[in-house]
Amino acid sequence: GAVVSQHPSWVICKSGTSVKIECRSLDFQATTMFWYRQFPKQSLMLMATSNEGSKATYEQGVEKDKFLINHASLTLSTLTVTSAHPEDSSFYICSARRDQNQPQHFGDGTRLSIL
């Protein structure tokens, strides 16, 4: 159990376009979902935390107008990178958690490349 699906796994697009990434918990209800960014050979950097039906909480330095997060249901959260530019190219990973004190379960990530 505890499977998290992330889609797409890889996307290439032109500068200025918006990209939506989906994160789904397939076999459990996730009260909280998290979005991370990971640079090569570095650990995960938390971008934001979202609770179902509430506004996301963004980490310091993360532009909430650039990275729009929607947690519409207990099994789905989306991250939209608006007006993406080459510096937004990175590996984005989501995770989902049933409740506090439970482990986070991660998706397989989305490799975003902006040309």
Partner 1 sequence: EDQVTQSPEALRLQEGESSSLNCSYTVSGLRGLFWYRQDPGKGPEFLFTLYSAGEEKEKERLKATLTKKESFLHITAPKPEDSATYLCAVPSYYGGSQGNLIFGKGTKLSVKP
CA–CA gap between residue 86 and residue 112 (Å, rounded)? 9
84 beta partners? none
Among 61, 65, 87, 101, binds partner 1 (CB under 8 A): 101
What's the CA angle centered on 63, arms 4 and 104, to 5 degrees? 25
Q: How far is the CB of 107 from partner 1 (least distance, A)?
A: 5
Q: Does 44 bind partner 1 (CB under 8 A)?
A: yes
**Footprint on residues 13-42 left by partner 1 (CB under 8 A):** 32, 34, 42
Closer to partner 1 by Cβ: residue 12 or 83: 12
Size of the site for partner 1 (CB under 8 A): 27
Among 25, 109, 112, 114, binds partner 1 (CB under 8 A): 109
Among 24, 95, 112, 114, binds partner 1 (CB under 8 A): 95
DSSP letters for 58-99:
EPTT--TTTEEEEEEETTEEEEEE-S--GGG-EEEEEEEESS
CA–CA gap between residue 86 and residue 16 (Å, rounded)? 9
* Window of 13-21, 69-77, 86-94 that interacts with partner 1 by CB under 8 A: 86-94
Half-sphere exposure of 102 (CA within 13 A, CB side): 16
Q: Does 97 bind partner 1 (CB under 8 A)?
A: yes
